[in-house]
Amino acid sequence: MKGNSYFSRKLHSLLGIIPLGGFILVHALTNYQAFERGPEGFANGVHTINSLPVLPVLEIFGIYLPLLFHGIYGLYVAYQSNSNTGRFKYGRNWAFTAQRITGVITFVFVFWHVYQTRIQVYLGNITHEELGSTMHTIASSPVMFVLYVIGVLSAVFHFSNGLWAFLVSWGITVGPRAQRISSYICMGVFVLVSALFILSLVAFSGDEFKEAANAALTWTNIG
């Protein structure tokens, strides 16, 4: 098995961007519908995703398997690293440590979040149409809201900084100038995508989604 760790690490880096990074972007934009167009917009977004062809295949090979590989191999990568930010207080070194910490936080957060939403749909406890109200229940609890903000910021930082590292690890940005400019772009991505997620969390906690939740509740009661 010559070059196995080289291969695994390359795959780890690739999966972080394609498909996982792509998924984060789609997820951020779908959620943002909640802020821009309210419960109906969000429901439409969810509906669009659910009407994709071969959805289970997409989910398994496009999300679950890459996520598991990236997450578990990533934990191993984090375990293999020391943090020496005390001795070397450089921005990139902080980012190195932050990449590993946010990776672990994201790992926990994603499992928990998937359990609260997608798994509940699988279990039949809620329907896709009720995801908006599920998110309202979560986002209107102050503790959950803060935890979600931490989780979301970690995930988005991990993605944005990982994008920067991806460009280096694949030999796309080679010189210091290229790497500096790409770090500005990646910081921009971090701010933008974080804003999308946080605004949608704010929208989810709003009254509109409460009414939607009530409506859903009444609806189930009648049903």
Partner 1 sequence: MAETTVASKTVKFIVSRQDTPESKPYTEEFEIPYRPNMNVISGLMEIQRNPVKADGSKTSPVCWESNCLEEVCGACSMVINGKPRQACSALVDQLEQPIRLEPMRTFPVVRDLVINRERMFNALKKVKAWIPIDGTYDLGPGPRMAETKRQWAYELSKCMTCGVCLESCPNVNDRNSFIGPAAISQVRLFNAHPTGEMNKEERLEALMTDGGIEGCGNSQNCVRSCPKGIPLTTSIAAMNRDTTKHLFKKWLTN
Which amino acids are annotated as binding site for heme, given as ranges? 27, 70, 113, 158
- Candidates 52, 55, 65, 172: give the one binding partner 1 (CB under 8 A): 172
| Shortest Å, Cβ 124 to partner 1 | 43
Q: Tokens at residue 117, please?
A: 């939403």
Nearer Cβ to partner 1 (101/195)? 101
Identify which of residues 90 and 223 has a Cβ nearer to partner 1 in the complex.
90
- Give the number of residues in contact with partner 1, rule: CB under 8 A: 36
Nearest to 26 by CA among 56, 58, 54: 58
Name which of 172 and 181 has its Cβ closer to partner 1.
Answer: 172
Q: Which of 111, 122, 170, 219 binds partner 1 (CB under 8 A)?
A: 170
DSSP string across 45-75: HHHHHHTSTTHHHHHIIIIIHHHHHHHHHHH
List the interface residues with partner 1, window 89-108 (CB under 8 A).
90, 92-93, 95-97, 99
Determine which residue in the list 53, 87, 124, 222 makes contact with partner 1, applying CB under 8 A.
87
Question: Which member of 143, 175, 221, 222 binds partner 1 (CB under 8 A)?
Answer: 175
Contact predicate 154/102, CB 8 Å:
yes
Based on CB atoms, which residue is closest to partner 1, 48 or 81? 81
CA angle 41, 44, 47 (to 5 degrees): 155
Q: Which stretch binds partner 1 (CB under 8 A): 51-59, 146-154, 168-176, 208-216?
A: 168-176
Contact call for residue 169 and partner 1 (CB under 8 A):
yes
**Pair 166, 16: CB distance under 8 Å:** yes
Place of tokens 């821009």: 36
| CB of 58 closer than 8 Å to CB of 67 | no
Asked whether 96 and 88 are in contact (CB, 8 A), the reply is no
Total H helices, total E strands in the chain: 10, 0
Q: Which residues bind partner 1 (CB under 8 A)?
A: 2-6, 8-10, 77, 79-84, 87-88, 90, 92-93, 95-97, 99, 164-165, 168-176, 179
